[in-house]
Amino acid sequence: MKVVIVHNDLRVYWKGRIKYLRQFLADHHITLYAIELFGQGSPYAFDPLDTDNCLFPGHSYNELTKAEIKNKLFAKLDEINPDVIIGGSIVFFSGALGVNWCRKHHKHFIMFDDGKPSDIKRNPFVQYIKDTIIGLADALWLPSADYDAEYTGVFEKPWFFHGYNTIDNELFKTNRKKEFNHNVIICVARLVAIKNIDNLLRAWQHVEQQNDTYKLQIVGSGPEQDSLMQLQADLQLKRVEFLGVVANKDIPAYLFNADAFILASFAESWGLVVNEAMAAALPVLLSKKINAANALLQEGGNGFVFDPYDVNEIAGKILKFIMLDEASKKAMSDRSLQLINTMDYKNMGNALLTILNEMAALKPKRVTFTGKLFMSLWYGGYNTAGWNK
C-alpha cells in the first residue's frame, strides 16, 4: 500500500510525526510519502524547509495561480499513484485538491483537522458547501473524541479516528525527580493578541498582592512585546520575567524548572504546547477556549481551567494551585504524564494503521452530482491573516 500525506505546510510538529510514521508503516509493508506544497509564507518560517518534499520551495501560495498549484500537485500524485491520501481540512489546498484527486481516481481520502466547525461562524450556505466536500472524505483523523460531535451528520456512516495531534513526548521527559520548589509558573506563547497575555498580567497583579512567592516566566516574542512590558511596568509587577525567544532544544529544561504551565488564550484550535508541558510532567492551568483542554485537562486532576475573559477567575485558579501542598502538586504532575501518554507516536501509528487496514477492504466513496460541482469550483486556500487574531 502507498500512502501520501499532503499539506500546505509540514514543518515543526509534522516532521517528527512523518519520520515516525514512515518507519512504523514500513514495518507493516506500507510506504509513506510526504508532499509539502509551499516553501514560503509559513507561520513556522523559523523551522528549516525540507526542500525534497516541497512542490514550490521558493513560493508562497499567493504567488501562484490555483491552476498552477492543482496541476503540479496532481502531476506528483499521478507519479506516486497512492492508494490513500491524507490531507488537511478542505479549507486548505491540501484537503480540497487531495479529495478531488482521490474521487477522480477512485482512491481513499482521509482528512485531518484540529479546528472545530463551531469555532468559526460561517454563512449557512458556505457551511453547507464545506460540509458537502468534507462528506466526500472516507475518514476523519481528529485530535480527540470530543471533536466527533462536530462532524456527526456530515457523514451517513462517519469514520472517526483520533490522536494525530501528537508531539515527541520523549523529548520533554527526564529521568530526574520532579520537584515543586521552583516557585515558577511558566507560559510559552507568541506575544500576540489571541494569547491574552495582557489579561494574564492583570491576573498576576492580584496574585502578587496575595502571594509574592511565585514568579511568572513568559517565553516567546511577538509584536505585542513592548506593550506587554509597558503593562508590566504600569501594574508594578515585580515577579514577572519576559525571557524572549528560547531555542527549541532548551524549552524542556525551562518547563522542567517550573511548577506549572499556564496558557490563557482566547482561542486555540488545539494548543500543542499543552502536550509539551504535560510531557514535561507539569500541571496545567488552561483557558477553556483551548481545545486541548477538553481532552487533556481534568479539573483538579492535573490542573485547573478558567474563563480567559475573567481576570479574577484566572487569578483565583493560579492562587488555588499555588496554595496546594507538594503532595497534591506531585499528584497533578503524575496525572499529566498519564494523560499525555495516551497521545504519543505509538498510539498515533496504531490508530492510523487500523483505519488503513479497514479501508483496504472497502471501496472509496462515490461522488454525488453536488459534490462534483462543488469540487470543480473550490481548490482550497492558505490564508494565515488571522493567525494572530
Cα-Cα-Cα-Cα torsion 265, 270, 273, 275, nearest 10 degrees, comes to 130
Domain contains 206: yes
Domain contains 103: yes
What is the percent of the chain with per-residue pLDDT over 70, rounded to a whole number?
Answer: 97
Q: Kindly give the residue spans of alpha helices, DSSP state H, lying in 197-325.
A: 197-210, 225-234, 251-256, 272-279, 291-296, 311-322
Residues 29, 12 share a domain: yes
Give the three-class secondary structure for 184: strand
Query: Can you say whether residue 66 is alpha, beta or left, with left for phi > 0 and alpha for psi between -120 and 50 degrees?
Result: alpha
- The whole-angstrom separation of Cα 30 and Cα 21 is 10
Over residues 69-87, mean pLDDT: 97
Over residues 283-297, mean pLDDT: 97
Confidence category of residue 383, pLDDT binned at 50, 70, 90: low
Residues 74, 179 share a domain: no
Over residues 154-172, mean pLDDT: 86
3-state helix, strand, coil in the chain (%, to 5): 45, 15, 40
| pTM, entire model | 0.93
Domain contains 382: no
Check whether 132 has a pLDDT greater than 80: yes
Total number of domains in the chain: 2
Better-scored residue on pLDDT, 132 or 164:
164
Which residue do the cell numbers 513592548 mark? 226
pLDDT of residue 198: 98
Confidence category of residue 164, pLDDT binned at 50, 70, 90: very high
Domain contains 11: yes
Check whether 364 has a pLDDT greater than 70: yes
- The whole-angstrom separation of Cα 197 and Cα 218 is 9
Domain contains 292: yes
What does the mean pLDDT of the chain come to? 92
pLDDT of residue 47: 84
Confidence category of residue 378, pLDDT binned at 50, 70, 90: confident
- The whole-angstrom separation of Cα 197 and Cα 220 is 11
Check whether 131 has a pLDDT greater than 70: yes
Check whether 279 has a pLDDT greater than 80: yes
Give the three-class secondary structure for 30: coil
Confidence category of residue 156, pLDDT binned at 50, 70, 90: low
Better-scored residue on pLDDT, 19 or 369:
19
Residues 16, 150 share a domain: yes
Residues 63, 199 share a domain: no
Check whether 384 has a pLDDT greater than 60: no
Contact 277, 284 (CB under 8 A): yes
Check whether 110 has a pLDDT greater than 80: yes
Confidence category of residue 158, pLDDT binned at 50, 70, 90: low
Please write the tens of the pLDDT for every residue from 293-334: 999 999 999 999 999 999 999 999 999 999 999 999 999 999
- The whole-angstrom separation of Cα 342 and Cα 65 is 42
Residues 137, 235 share a domain: no
- The domain of 87 spans 2-166+344-377
pLDDT of residue 309: 98
Please write the tens of the pLDDT for every residue from 86-103: 999 988 999 999 999 999
Residue 69 has phi, psi (to 5 degrees) of: -65, -50
Residues 207, 89 share a domain: no
Q: How far is CA 61 from CA 11, 75, 187, 248, 374, in A?
A: 16, 18, 32, 27, 21
What is the percent of the chain with per-residue pLDDT over 90, rounded to a whole number?
Answer: 77
What is the dihedral sign for C-alpha 346, 348, 351, 353?
negative
Over residues 250-268, mean pLDDT: 96
Exposure pattern of 84-94 as b/e (b: 16+ CB <10 Å)? bbbbbbbbbbb
Residues 128, 108 share a domain: yes
Check whether 154 has a pLDDT greater than 80: no
Domain contains 385: no
Residues 179, 56 share a domain: no
Check whether 388 has a pLDDT greater than 80: no
Better-scored residue on pLDDT, 264 or 370:
264
Domain contains 208: yes
Residue 327, H or E segment: helix 326-340
Cβ neighbours, 10 Å, residue 111: 25
Residues 230, 113 share a domain: no
Residues 247, 143 share a domain: no
CATH number, domain containing residue 319: 3.40.50.2000
Confidence category of residue 34, pLDDT binned at 50, 70, 90: very high
Please report, as a single letter, which amino acid is at residue 273: V
Residues 262, 136 share a domain: no
Residue 30 neighbours by CB under 8 Å, 6+ apart: 1, 2, 3, 353, 356
Cell triple for 18 = 512523518
Residues 222, 356 share a domain: no
Check whether 151 has a pLDDT greater than 90: no
Domain contains 386: no
pLDDT of residue 205: 98
Edge-first strand listing for the sheet containing 215-219 = 240-244, 215-219, 184-188, 260-263, 284-287, 303-306
